[in-house]
Chain A
């Protein structure tokens, strides 16, 4: 336990001295926020509130960039093996990554909420308890995804390619950039299989539609389950040594992490509640009386 605490503290210090961390955890989320709130929402409080969910989701999801890159760099440079020869366990190493990232993500979330409240005059920030639940589980879940990425790639280059491949669909097909209701039907059909969609929708329902957490528990528990599964897979595939080969079944293990969302996606397809809720939220801001000047969705 003390190992975990000291490692987490040092990992936080190291992250704060790292420029890449600042970019992905501070500059990028705030950049997205000003882009969405200032440009897309044109500063209208109700529209800003609509985009709060997606922006917070982007902030939370960005976790996996830094986590995967740091872990791979530590392995490549032989830093991990130095820890391995000391009485440090792989779970100390992994949990401290997730924990340090978690603590460091929260201030940006708070800053975004404060900016929304005091700069963009969003008087109703929705159900902040629900939002807090989603921020917490999202940060841990996407941090763990970063650890899985680190465990199935060998070099920093491979890691960055895989990160890009994950990042683009996660932000473009989940409603984190374009509102889910605005996306083509086919993309919506695919979106229900992405964990990011549940995070975006959950956060949006919490902040924009003020839903309490018990009305969002399906999304929440899907993310909790995914976080646990991803962390478990990452701990099974963890490698201290740069030249240790990835086990042959590693990719299968990694693929197993998407299983909960395949099941949930199939269930959503039958049920369709999430898409309906997203559409309702979208209609709420795109109708003229709410001031935002978005086009009405075609469907």
Chain B
């Protein structure tokens, strides 16, 4: 924790009347995969776009690879790679041309042919960008992001909008980069992505970091919240279950119910009493270890994907 490659101190970003980032601070060590986890509109993209030099901060201090994105934008851009959100390439550019074009901008570059092979785009090398599937476009975006062998790689929602199979492909690619000790900063609103890929996670909500640590540390900190999954003989009211003693949140999932309990034992007692009174029956009950989703619910009282 001595020599961070990326440093953010009290970052502020405003758009007209929206205060998107409110004093975010964190640092990332070399070789670390750092995740910003939070719902849409939490300020993750704004934060990462300031680090990439795409937006100018309204306050705070930022340093990436020792460079200030405002003072040394060109030097910074030679050292970083990025897969952006809401971006595109010209429809009529060929895969091979796009990769070579971006490679030509950098002092340090990797072989485009090797990248095409590694990202499974060799057969598509002469295809137009508009002819690629969503997964292929994202793989090309990742290939372009590492074409300069960057010191820090930014991935903004790398799997948003992709189907589960393609998402796993992208995870494999990111895990491979991770095994090569690349420094990666990624944003996501997928719990499993953060848990699976990140060494450390900052949970972001309403422009602030509300918790930070390794996924394990975060889950341990919420050990006083347990997830209880129950199946009932007859449907019950979600709203009524939320008001049970010891229950923080309750929702219906796949015909069963998931209760987030601050105090597990009293919650189960009151649940059973409630069911008895309603003439309902407990079919199954399972106590699960908390996930990052539970951590988020505990901290904000809301679910991540609402």
Contacts and interface: CB of A to CB of B under 8 A. Distances in A.
Contacts of B102: 86
B117 interface: no
A86 B87 contact: no
Given A6-B101, A241-B54, A81 B90 contact: no
B77 A86 contact: yes
A77 interface: yes
B101 A78 contact: no
Given A84-B54, A85-B82, A78 B88 contact: yes
A155 interface: no
Contacts of B54: 81, 84-85, 240-241
A129 interface: no
A18 interface: yes
Interface residues on B, range: 20 to 34
Contacts of B105: 3, 6, 86-88
A10 interface: yes
Contact of B92 (A14, A81, A84, A87): A14
B303 interface: no
A74 interface: yes
Interface residues of A, number: 23
Interface string A83-108: 01111110000000000000000000
Interface in B237-265: none
B106 A87 contact: yes
B274 interface: no
Contact of A81 (B87, B104, B144): B87
B166 interface: no
A266 B7 CA distance: 59
14 contacts: A6-B104, A10-B93, A13-B93, A14-B90, A14-B93, A74-B90, A78-B86, A78-B87, A82-B144, A84-B53, A85-B52, A85-B82, A89-B74, A241-B54
Given A82-B88, A88-B105, 6 more contacts: A6-B105, A14-B93, A74-B90, A79-B89, A81-B86, A84-B54
Interface of B: 52-55, 74, 77-78, 80, 82, 84, 86-90, 92-93, 97, 101-102, 104-106, 144
